[in-house]
Amino acid sequence: MRLALLGVVAVVQFGLCPRTLFGYAHRPMWLALTAFAALGLVTIACAIWVLRREPLPTAVIAVGTVVALAASVAASAALPPDEHIGAGDWPLGLVGWHLLLLLLDRVPLLLTALAAHLTSSVAQFFLAGGTDRGRVGTAAIIVFGAVTLQLAVVVFTRVLRRSTAQAVAAAAERDRQAIRVAVAEQWEQGQRAVFAEQLGEVLPLLAGLADGELDPRAAGTRQRCALAATQLRRLFAENDDVPDPLVHEVSACVDVAERRGLDVSLAVSGAAVDVPADVRRDLTGPVATTLSAARTRARVSVLRTDDEVRVAVVSDAGTGLAAASSAHVEVECGVYGEHTRMEARWRRTS
C-alpha cells in the first residue's frame, strides 16, 4: 500500500507538477522551486525506507511532515494570485499525498496535518482576494475532490489492514488447530502403545487358556489371571478424571483383590499431592503384583508427607515376589515372619 502511495507521489510530483510549476509565473520563482525541491527530498527520503519495506523512523516522519507543511505554505505564497486553488495550484494536491505517505499509520495526526495544509491553502486563497462567488464555488469543488480522493485512500488502507489482520489470525488459528490435531494423534498413539504394552501380559495368558496349554486350576495360572485382572483395572482407572488419581488407582487394585475374596484394608494418610502418571504407574505396579500374590489378607496404605509418597502392601504373599525399582520410584520388598512387605517410595524432591 505504501509502495503504491510512493508511486503516486513520485508520478504526481515529477510527472505532473513540473509542467504546472513552470507553466505559471511564480513570485518569487526561487521560493516555489525551493518548496518543490524540499518536497522532492521528502519523497526521496521516504523512498529509502519504503523500498526496503521498512517502517519510516519517527524522526523522518516528524521532519518530513514539518518540511511538507512549510513547503505547502511557501509554495502557496509564491503562487500567482489568481491561481490559488485552481489549475495552477500544484502544492494543494501534492502536499496532501506527501502527508498521506508520511502519516498513513497515524490517522489522527494525518487528519490534523491535512486540515492544517488545507486551512493554509484556503487562507491564502482568501488573502489573495478570492472573494468572487464563482471562484469560491470552483475552489470548493477542487478542495472537495482532492480531499475526498485522499481520505478514500486512508479508509481503503484501514479496511485492507483489518482484513489482513483477520486473515493472519485465521491462518494462525488454523495452524494451532493443525498442531492440536497432531498432538492428539500422537497422544492416541502413545496411549495405544501403553495399552498394548500392558495388554501384552493379558494376551498370551488368554491364548494359553484358549489353547488348553495353561491349566486354569493351577495356582500359577490363577495368580497370573489375578495379576492380569488387577493390571487391567488399574489401567482403566488411570484414565479416569478424579481428584486423587493415586488413591483411585490403588482402590481399583484393592477392589479386584476383594472380589477375589481377599481381606484387604486400605488406609490413606496425608493430603492429596500431584503425582505424574508414569510415577503413579511405577507406584501402583508393585501393589498389583503383591495383591495378586496375597493369599488371604493384605493391608494397603498410602502415605503422603512433605517430601515423599509411600505406597505399601503388608500381606501374606510369602516369598518369591520380585520388585524392580524404576528411575523415580524405589521399590523395597522383604519377608518378616509371616508378613511380606512391599513398599514403593517416590521422593518428590528428587
| Distance in angstroms (rounded) separating the CA atoms of residues 275 and 257 | 24
Residues making contact with other proteins (CB under 8 A):
265, 267-271, 299, 301, 303-306, 310, 312, 314, 334, 336-337, 339, 341, 343
State in angstroms the smallest separation of the CB of 240 from other proteins.
Answer: 22
Q: Across the beta sheet with 339-347, what order do the strands follow?
A: 263-269, 297-304, 308-315, 339-347, 329-336
Closer CB to other proteins, 106 or 345, in the complex: 345
Closer CB to other proteins, 135 or 341, in the complex: 341
233 and 255 Cβ atoms separated by less than 8 Å: yes
| Of residues 103, 90, 82, the one with CA closest to residue 32 | 90
| Distance in angstroms (rounded) separating the CA atoms of residues 5 and 101 | 6
Closer CB to other proteins, 239 or 265, in the complex: 265
Closer CB to other proteins, 71 or 312, in the complex: 312
State in angstroms the smallest separation of the CB of 253 from other proteins.
Answer: 16
Closer CB to other proteins, 111 or 268, in the complex: 268
State in angstroms the smallest separation of the CB of 225 from other proteins.
Answer: 27
Closer CB to other proteins, 186 or 269, in the complex: 269
C-alpha cell at 117: 495544509
| DSSP one-letter string for 260-286 | TT-EEEEEEES------HHHHHHHHHH
230 and 201 Cβ atoms separated by less than 8 Å: no
C-alpha cell at 204: 498370551
State in angstroms the smallest separation of the CB of 192 from other proteins.
Answer: 36
State in angstroms the smallest separation of the CB of 349 from other proteins.
Answer: 14
Termini Cα distance of the chain? 58
Q: SS3 helix, strand, coil % of the chain, rounded to 5?
A: 65, 10, 20
Report the helix count and the strand count for the chain, using DSSP H and E.
11, 5
Closer CB to other proteins, 262 or 314, in the complex: 314
Q: Which residue has the cell 468572487?
A: 132
State in angstroms the smallest separation of the CB of 338 from other proteins.
Answer: 9
State in angstroms the smallest separation of the CB of 289 from other proteins.
Answer: 17
